[in-house]
Amino acid sequence: AQSVTQLGSHVSVSEGALVLLRCNYSSSVPPYLFWYVQYPNQGLQLLLKYTTGATLVKGINGFEAEFKKSETSFHLTKPSAHMSDAAEYFCAVSDTGGYQKVTFGTGTKLQVIP
Amino acid sequence: GAVVSQHPSRVICKSGTSVKIECRSLDFQATTMFWYRQFPKQSLMLMATSNEGSKATYEQGVEKDKFLINHASLTLSTLTVTSAHPEDSSFYICSALLGPNTEAFFGQGTRLTVV
């Protein structure tokens, strides 16, 4: 069975500050890991994904995440927050080796303070 | 990128009536689509997997007679909530696969309110 835990349903950062959104997962097999972003009244957009290979994954809009197997974590970071980053972020895991059965975390709403 | 359109974005219906939600892949053919439900402050929960030309596969605990899924073409899947009740009020979102080993593209979701 697979599951995802996102610590913090709401995170506030100042514009220009580091963004850190935490995600821990459990999986019985090597997982695929994803971060999605959802802007108000829009669908989910894939930010980045880890499947195999390099553990530091770079995504769109300056975000990156590092897969740490020993910590079962896949935290999302961005060095400098922009106002446009305000949105809800979902971490997700698939342990079926693909995109079929994806389990989502409960989401973290990011607020960027000017 | 690939675009998935969901319609309507919001719907209010009376208890006991049925509501149909459409999910369309606008610029690609999707053999597989997924339907999720999201309650407030909760995660997206997979309801069913919809494959074109075959019966949908429902997740455990999802009533297939209540949530009717039809994937009649490679660009359209529909979810019909039959005899809706207030507890069915939720955010429903679909996604479509561009190919068997590609990312899923999501629609913008439908907010269903049953009064």
Q: Any idea how long chain A is?
A: 114
Looking at residue B84, its pLDDT comes to: 97
User: Among candidates B49, B55, B33, which has minimal Cα distance to B107?
Assistant: B33
Q: Which residue has the higher pLDDT, B39 or A15?
A: A15
Q: Do B105 and A9 touch (CB under 8 A)?
A: no
**pLDDT tens-digit map of A23-42:** 999 987 788 899 999 888 67
Partner-chain residue, chosen from B42, B43, B102, that has the shortest CB–CB distance to A99: B102
Hey, which residues does A23 pair with through a beta bridge? A6
pLDDT value at A22 more than 70: yes
Confidence check: pLDDT of B37 > 60: yes
Q: How far apart are the first and last CA of chain B?
A: 37
Looking at the complex, report in whole angstroms how far the Cα of residue B27 sits from the nearest Cα belonging to chain A. 16
Q: Are strands B32-38 and B19-25 parallel, antiparallel or unpaired?
A: unpaired
pLDDT for A46-97, tens place per residue?
Answer: 899 998 889 999 999 999 999 999 999 999 999 999 999 999 999 999 876 5
Tokens matching residue A42 = 């829009």
Q: Does B57 touch chain A (CB under 8 A)?
A: no
Give tens-digit pLDDT for B49-62.
988 888 899 999 99
Tokens of B59: 């997740």
